[in-house]
Structure 1
Amino acid sequence: MNIFIKQSLYLGLLIMSSIGFSQDDDVEVFGVLVEEDNSQPIPYVTIALYDIDTKGIISGTTTDENGKFSITTDSSNFYIEISFMGYKTKKISDFKVKNAKIDLGIIKLLEDNEVLDEVLITGEVSKTVFKLDKRVFNIGKDISSTGASALEVLSNVPSVNVNIEGEVSLRGSSGVQILINGKPSVLADESSNALGTITADMIESIEVVTNPSAKYEASGTAGILNIILKKEEKKGWNGSVSANTGIPDNHSIGLSLNRRTEKFNLFTQMGVGYRSLPRENEAINRDLISDEVVFSDGTSYRNETFYNLTLGTDYHINERNVITLSGNLAYEIEDQPSDTKFRFFDSTNSLVSSWLRNETTEATNPKYQYELNYKTQFDDDDEHSLQFSALGRFFGKDQSSQFVNTMLSGTDVGSDQQTETNFQQSDYTFKADYTNPLSETYTIEAGAQYVINDVGNDYEVRDLTGGSYVVNNDLTNNFEYNQKVLGVYFTGSYELEKWGLKAGLRIENTDLNTVLTNTNVSNSQKFTDYFPSLHSSYKVGDNTSFQAGYSRRIFRPRLWDLNPFFNISNNFNIRQGNPDLQPEFTDSYELTSIYRLGKASFSSSIYHKYTTEVVERVSTFNDNVTITTPQNIGTNASTGFETNGKYSPNKWLTFTGDFNFNYFDRVGTFQSQSFDFSGRQWSSRLGSKIGLPADIDLELTGNYQSGYETIQGDVTGFAYLDLGIRKKIFKGKAIANLGVRDLFESRISENTVSQATFETYTFSKRGRFITLGISYGFGKGEAMTYSGGRRR
């Protein structure tokens, strides 16, 4: 505890210190911090320079992720003190100055085992770390996320929005590429709700890449979100266990284990749970020609029982070579009951008929993936490396649905129906990445990636005719989807103490084929595209720095955008894909400033994106039925401003905030109809963390998403509030959490389409979620709500 207090005082003094240096007499002190036992680098260690006579602090810094540090001073009468929680403090007063440099070489720190056994975990709320081409959002004690899924955690990340349907957007734009540990994953498949099987306590950090460099796959016009899962690396046995319960039903148990030896790092995560996701729905279809109206309202449920198992090992062949083999198995059992009441009114507003449509859907979703990585580091430099990886993943869905219509009044409106879906998706990714720091200032990167996506979806619809179910050939087909993408890239960077520059080029060749086997309708697309990127950063001083970036991105239509099958849950509001959909292309420009002002820190960005072949959801209307399909419509030019910050007026109170505004200009034509218009959209988030007596913390987070205009109508804005309470137990080894999401049940989805011949209105709401969780860390592990830098 004393070390932690001392560590905090050091950091506070370092932040407050503002010492001017004489450039002519500056001396540079540098070195590398590693662990005594295994020579692993230690990041985030505090390095402080003290005046020998006054004992006052002169200056200080912290080590980077590779354990390296560099600090400059004009003093000649000082000693060096190195401290980090869990390690014995080291004092260095015997050193030599040569050519205005003090090279301390490799410094080894010894673990303080007595302190480790009694350490209190006092991590802060989630915070963002800025790097040259990305922001890293470290998941802290966001207590309102207790028992939450990865989608709900993403909704708390600056710049990210998740709507009630689970669609992820970045700065108000969809087309986000979601990765798990830097790679595509079946767990990141939004269409299968797979992110729901990843819980908050499994996540270490989330990388937000709004302007990806050429090193990254070019998919995702809005950018990339990379979810980093926890993997303990402490010696011996370590782990944590968590249990959650909630209303509506949200129950889960999770276990994380890690065993670290000299050669092996064995890790596993397992979890089982059950959740119920109710949703209220309303819809109005209005024919402006005949004045007929169809009203529908009801409640649907998505009940899921899920199982998750992750196994993996790192085998350190020697100090320079490591092999990682890992696998993940997930299995979901879905039950989706719903009841929707329909009412049909004629032109005189008289009720013609009303009926109840009941849906009973059952599905099983097996998912698995396996991955092999090999990384070698060259003798001349730890950062000089070559890495190969191979990833295979599979997702299946065996689903059956029964739709029964019960007449309440009036005439019969249609027969009962059944659907059967047999879906299988296999993906394979092969990568090679090479990094070579040619010098302290120059670094080159090069690599290649080959991705294969192979999908089959056999879909059948049956109508009740004459007392038996007959296949509806107009709605039944087998959709096959095969896509191959070959990409190669090269980047070069030049970094000095104050500024850096990184440029790159990626080339990708796409070969996409789709076919409806029953009707023999096929579509093939082949194209080669170039994706340049340019990033720069400049550090004005200790409190201010700037980043600038440019990248070109592509949004390839996803399977569910291309799949032409109907969703007939509500057969008056139908969604289907478009096999002829073309990819979007976006040129993205960004300027970001990072600065500190007293006890506050801020980041602000001005950005501009120009997108061609924009994918929009377009509604058509026939016989009171609305059919929504994605279409390529024109261009979108968007200019925006974003700022987020953190302010801690004292040790028990912290405020965090995020604000994003963008103005967009849409130009496009579809079926002789012009869709030229301009609009604006903005969102904000304000959070506070309040420390109370008895180791109790209170957290409040308010969110607002503005309404905005669409090509056919508008989307309504909404505000909602999340809160949480946390209590530490057993000196922080155990933590109990109570979280309430959407306290006032105000988070909604409300859309209006207004056209010359028809109007439609849709509304849905999830409601309030209450969760209670407890977690406990054992060995050298911590309770699973804790997350910070890399831990050992």
Structure 2
Amino acid sequence: MKSILYTKIFILLTCISNQFFYAQSSNIEILGVVLEANTNAPVEYATISILDSNTKKPITGTISSETGKFSIKTDATNFYIQVSFMGYKTKVYKTFEVENRKINLKTIALEEDNEALGEVLIRAEKSQTEFKLDKRVFNVGQDLSSTGAGALEVLNNVPSVNVSIEGDVSLRGNQGVQILINGKPSVLASADGNALGSITADMIEKIEVITNPSAKYDAEGTSGIINIVIKKSEKKGLNGSASLNIGVPNSNSFGLSLNRRTEKFNFFSQIGIGLRTYPSDSKTINRDLLNNTSVNSTGDANFDEKFSNILIGTDYHINNNNVITLSGSYAYEVEDQNSVANYEEFDETDTVIENWLRTETTEATNPKLRYEIQYKRDFKRHKDQSLLISALGSSFKKDQSSIYTNNTIFGDRADAKQETRTDYALEDYTFKIDYTHPFLENYTIETGSQYVINNVSNDFAVNDLVDANWANNPNLTNIFDYDQKVLGVYTTVAYEGDKWGLKLGIRLENTNINTLLVNTNLSNKDDYTNLFPSAHTSYKINNNFSLQAGYSRRIQRPRLRDLNPFSNIRDNYSISMGNPDLQPEYTDAFEITSINKIGKASLNFSLYNRHTTDIIERVTTFENNISTSRPENIGENTTTGFEFNGKYAPLNWLSLNGDFNINYFDRKGLFEDTSFDFKGNRWSSSLTSQFKLPADFDIEISGDYRSKYKTVQRQVSSNLFADLGIRKKILKGKTILNISIRDVFASRVDESITTQPEFYLFNSRKRGRFVTFGISYGFGKGEAMEFSGQRRR
């Protein structure tokens, strides 16, 4: 499998190299600046088209920048140039001089065309990528917007972004990406592919990709941001789509998305219901190396989940510059989990002395509520001047009960029975204001604030069956309250010229945390204030090659599960618990990236370095064959890595996406007088091939490899797995049939080994193969959900 992967990568690089040398030897560069005739103001987004002199068909194209300048290359020999913009007379150049393989049109003055003001002119024939200070901007051209593609299909054409046939969006191979709509969080973006399926290509103006976020964004760690900018006044009337999915194991769902747009209002809604089953097989070994005894287990489990959800909202366009958005969603889930595990205890002679079965029956209900109000104002003074005010609230509750039974098969162990009860409640509130103010010609200042409130209460109780009566276990019963408030204020200042730019920012965040164990009255308070600077610069050598560099300081606050001290007794020989005394991690991140577009290929090379202090790692202790893991702050870590990702479409029916990431880390830590210093590396690679076949068939094959790597005490094993997807469009693309197979060879296994002088641990869990068939239908101006079959979280 590895040899096939390496062969594909070699063929990809060879093709790219040939394309590169051919393009370099034959290109003619066309450049100029587009101005408004009466005011001499630059015309941004003017369309520059290169057309064939004989067929009149477009060869390539671009758009003008904020300063009106443009530059484009072509290897054509018989062509003419057309410059156009909505409401202005089109300029056509059929004769021109070529000097040193350059055509300099100098200043192009466009005059108003009052007769054409009611017409809509096309934008760039070909989608183009612009390179800005801390982001890349992908302007959606007619090649995508006229094909009826969905938002996820457009995303799949953006450099560094990949979308699987099931709708999983990844940035540089990492799925931890935040998706925004018009620069702000949205219920459409926070959902999965079904939600984004209601956005189609001709609604999208541009897509912004941010791989190293500036101080404008939360300092909390993130892999990157994708911002989808929607055009105005598109898709009026009633539009929508519906999907039905059936899978083995259970992956059954129905979804309906509706959208109605009028001159002032945009109403949107979604509903979904479904049933899913997640089976798993597990194996554990707990071995005492001092006494040479062990406890081993093998088991299987089924997690069944029934869910339903509804989302409804509206955009109210007060006028062209003011929009208010109201939205809300509600979801209800019912969970059932059943498991059986066979345990065996061995003595020092490797003889079984005890054998018992442990069964689990768990039931839970999870209601979820989310509501949001947003106000967005644009200003006539400048198209990029804006004010955004938003308030978001959400709540999540879990009412869960479990029964655990131990039945002895062999040995003297007494039968036992336990029950647990969990009443969990979470409430989150986010208040945000952002203001953007361009000034002079190339400068922009951004400022704003965000206040986030998180309130959690976890009431957990364990009862033991003693003499046919349930008795509370006070050592495992308590109420854990967690309150966190984060106030952030930021300012960024940017200069962006034609070739070079610089953006500096600073973010101030104050964090206040309070935890309380109610029954034992143990409390913990923490209050700290941090500065998070950021700096980004870029240099555009030409339209096809750019260099970017960035620095940002980030924070990773402990998650609730890391703070919650309650034990997990699902496997009472492998106990996991939290640590309310945890401190946050701090990371200084540096990155240098080259962005290359060579013919039909786009290549990105990145070098990065991350230095993290107060690293949070789980430390495992061992006693009486029972392992207990608890997170601790242990030392610091320096990671240096290289990443390559590329996208190449050698043919209209074939595209290849590849990603390779390797990093080396140096850990230095000390915990309870024990040194945890070590060095290591980890790497991953993926290759995805997408084929467009006759009769509107699409096939996607992807392979992933993730190397083994070390943590403080553990070694996590490598993984090699593949996914397959087949899609068929019928009824002029209004209906789409889907088949997806995740983990085709059922080779994906989560496996880890912990080796210490006193003990040895082995843990393995396998999910297996998932096969899903789906059908979706789009009506009105809506498109069928091309990436369906996922539930909303």
Relative to the length of structure 1, the TM-score reads 0.83
Partners of 2:48 and 2:184 in 1: CA distance: 35
Contact 2:61 2:72 in 1 (8 A): no
* Maintained 8 Å contact 1:186/1:368: no
- For residues 768 and 631 of structure 2, the distance between their equivalents in structure 1, rounded to whole angstroms, comes to 28
- Conservation of the 8 A alpha-carbon contact between 1:278 and 1:299: yes
Q: Tell me the secondary structure at the aligned position of residue 160 of structure 1.
A: coil
How far 1:469 moved relative to its partner?
Answer: 1.3
Asked whether the equivalents of residues 698 and 728 of structure 2 are also in contact (C-alpha less than 8 Å), the reply is yes
**Residue 202 and residue 227 in structure 1: after superposition, are their counterparts in 2 closer, same or farther (change >3 A)?**
farther
Aligned match of 1:102: 109
User: How many angstroms does 1:62 deviate by?
Assistant: 4.0
Tell me, yes or no, if structure 1 residue 704 matches structure 2 residue 715: no
Query: AA paired with 2:298?
Result: D
Q: Counterparts of 2:119 and 2:577 in 1: how far apart (Å)?
A: 60
What residue number does 1:746 align with? Answer: 747
1:693 shift after superposition: 2.5
Tell me the secondary structure at the aligned position of residue 376 of structure 2: strand
CA distance in 2, matches of 1:61, 1:657: 27
Aligned to 1:237: 238
Residue 261 of structure 2 aligns with which residue?
260
For 2:238 and 2:310, how far apart are their aligned partners in 1?
A: 19
Instruction: Give 1:433's aligned residue.
Output: 434
CA distance in 1, matches of 2:147, 2:73: 37
Instruction: Give me the whole-angstrom Cα distance separating, in 2, the residues matched to 1:403 and 1:216.
Output: 45
Which residue matches 1:18? Answer: 27
Query: Do 1:120 and 1:732's aligned partners in 2 also have CA atoms closer than 8 Å?
Result: no
CA contact (8 A) 1:500 1:538 kept: yes
Secondary structure in 1 matching 2:29: coil
Match of 1:27 among 32, 55, 67: 32
Q: 1:750 to 1:51 in 2, by over 3 A?
A: closer
> Tell me, what secondary structure is at the counterpart of 1:565?
coil
How does 1:250-649 map onto structure 2 within 5 Å? 250-412=251-413, 415-649=416-650
CA distance in 1, matches of 2:327, 2:542: 43
Aligned match of 2:125: none
Deviation at 1:711, TM superposition (A): 1.0
Output aligned runs, 1:670-749, within 5 Å: 670-749=671-750
- The separation in 2 between residues aligned to 1:751 and 1:120, in whole angstroms, is 47
* Contact 1:27–1:74 under 8 Å retained in 2: no
Q: Output the amino acid matched with 2:173.
A: S
Inter-CA distance 696–196: structure 2 relative to 1 (3 Å threshold): closer
Counterpart mapping for 1:76-155 below 5 A: 80=82, 92-93=91-92, 100-103=107-110, 109-110=119-120, 121=148, 126-127=155-156, 129=158, 137=161, 139=163, 142-143=164-165, 145=166, 153-154=168-169
Q: Compared with structure 1, are the counterparts of its residues 122 and 449 closer, same or farther at alpha carbon in structure 2 (3 Å cutoff)?
A: closer
Give deviations 1:99-128, integer Å, cap 9, x for gaps. 92424679764399xx99x97546758536
Distance 2:341 2:229 in 1: 39
Q: What does the per-residue CA deviation read over 1:295-347, in whole Å, with 9 as the maximum and x for residues that have no partner?
A: 11111222111112111111111111111111111111111111111111111
Deviation at residue 541 of structure 1 after TM alignment: 1.2
In structure 2, what residue type is equivalent to 1:127? N
Q: 1:157 and 1:711 mapped to 2: Cα distance? A: 28
* Letter aligned with residue 80 of structure 1: Q
Q: Secondary structure at the match of 1:567?
A: coil
Is the alpha carbon distance of 1:637 and 1:100 closer, same or farther for their aligned partners in structure 2, counting shifts above 3 Å? Answer: same
Q: 1:653 to 1:740 in 2, by over 3 A?
A: same
Q: Distance in 2 between matches of 1:51 and 1:648?
A: 23
CA deviation after TM superposition for structure 1 residue 784, in Å: 1.4
**Post-superposition shift, 1:201?**
4.6
Maintained 8 Å contact 2:211/2:223: yes
| SS of aligned partner of 2:561 | helix
Separation (CA, whole Å) in 2 of partners of 1:200 and 1:302:
27
The whole-number CA distance in structure 2 between the counterparts of 1:704 and 1:346 is: 39
Q: What is the aligned length?
A: 718
Q: TM-score, normalised by structure 2?
A: 0.83
User: Which residue does the alignment assign to 2:70?
Assistant: 71
Distance of 2:525 and 2:689 partners within structure 1: 52
The Cα of 1:433 is off from its aligned counterpart by: 0.4
Q: CA deviation at 1:783?
A: 1.3
CA contact (8 A) 1:634 1:669 kept: yes
- Matched-pair contact (CA < 8 Å) for 2:540–2:546: yes
1:516 CA drift (Å): 0.2
Alpha-carbon separation, structure 2, partners of 1:30 and 1:620: 71
197-206 or 293-302: bigger deviation: 197-206
Q: 1:208, CA displacement in angstroms? A: 6.6
Instruction: Tell me how far 1:19 sits from its aligned partner.
Output: 2.1
Which whole-Å CA distance do the structure 2 matches of 1:74 and 1:767 have between them? 49
1:539 deviation in Å?
1.1
Whether the 8 Å contact between 1:186 and 1:394 is mirrored in structure 2 is no
Indicate conservation of the 8 Å contact 2:48/2:81, yes or no: no
Q: Secondary structure, in 3 states, of the residue corresponding to 2:570?
A: coil
Alignment root-mean-square deviation, CA: 3.7
Q: Is the CA contact (8 Å cut-off) linking 1:488 and 1:507 kept in structure 2?
A: yes
Q: Partner amino acid for 1:27?
A: G
Deviation readout 1:615-639 (Å, 9 max, x if unpaired): 1111111111111111100001000
Quick one: structure 1 residues 467 and 46, their matched pair in 2 at CA, closer, same or farther if it must change by over 3 Å?
Answer: farther
Aligned to 1:668: 669
1:478 to partner: Cα distance = 0.2
231 and 71 in structure 1: CA distance in 2 versus 1, 3 angstrom threshold:
closer
Distance 1:127 1:187, change over 3 A: closer
Secondary structure in structure 2 of the residue aligned to 1:110: coil
Distance in 1 (CA, whole Å) between partners of 2:411 and 2:784 is 60
Structure 2 residue ranges without an equivalent (≥5): 1-21, 38-42, 95-103, 123-141, 789-793
Per-residue deviation, residues 68-93 of structure 1 (Å, max 9, x unmatched): 97535899x9652669xxx9999555
Q: In 2, distance between residues paired with 1:544 and 1:73?
A: 12
Residue 159 (structure 1) aligns with: 173
- Tell me: CA distance 1:108–1:180, structure 2 relative to 1, closer, same or farther (3 Å): closer
- Tell me the CA shift for residue 592 of structure 1: 0.7
Q: Secondary structure at the match of 1:577?
A: coil
Q: Which runs of 5+ in 1 are unaligned?
A: 1-12, 33-40, 162-167, 169-175, 189-193, 788-792
